[in-house]
Amino acid sequence: MKNSAMIEACLACFAACEMCATECIKMISADHLRCIALCRDCAEICALCIKLEQRDSEFSHDVMQLCVESCTACAAECEKFAAHHDHCRECAEVCRKCASECQAA
């Protein structure tokens, strides 16, 4: 499969971001609103990366660059809560890996 490492990283990031957003929503804390928003955006961009890569879209590379930016922003926000919430720590780690794979692709 073409760019299989990037696709695997995007799948893992999608799942981690969805879980993190869900757990942050359950906390009902205004402190986590940006984390929730970035996780949701990041998950959607990761899914789009996978779709465009699979169909060999001419826009795949452009969306991968957006994914790098989205994953980096999401990781930075999740890292603010990483010491207190495992889901935020795990999400930040997975986002960093996804950004790296999309950058390399």
Q: Residue-wise pLDDT tens for the chain (105 aa)?
A: 578 999 999 999 999 999 999 999 999 999 999 999 999 999 999 999 999 999 999 999 999 999 999 999 999 999 999 999 999 999 999 999 999 999 998
- What's this model's pTM, rounded to 2 decimal places? 0.95
Domains observed in the chain: 4-104 (1.20.1270.360)
At 19, the amino acid letter reads: M
pLDDT the model gives residue 105: 86
Three-class secondary structure of residue 58 per DSSP:
coil
What is d(CA 64, CA 80) in angstroms, rounded to the nearest whole number? 25
Q: What's the Cα-to-Cα distance from 76 to each of 52, 61, 63, 92, rounded to whole Å?
A: 26, 23, 20, 7
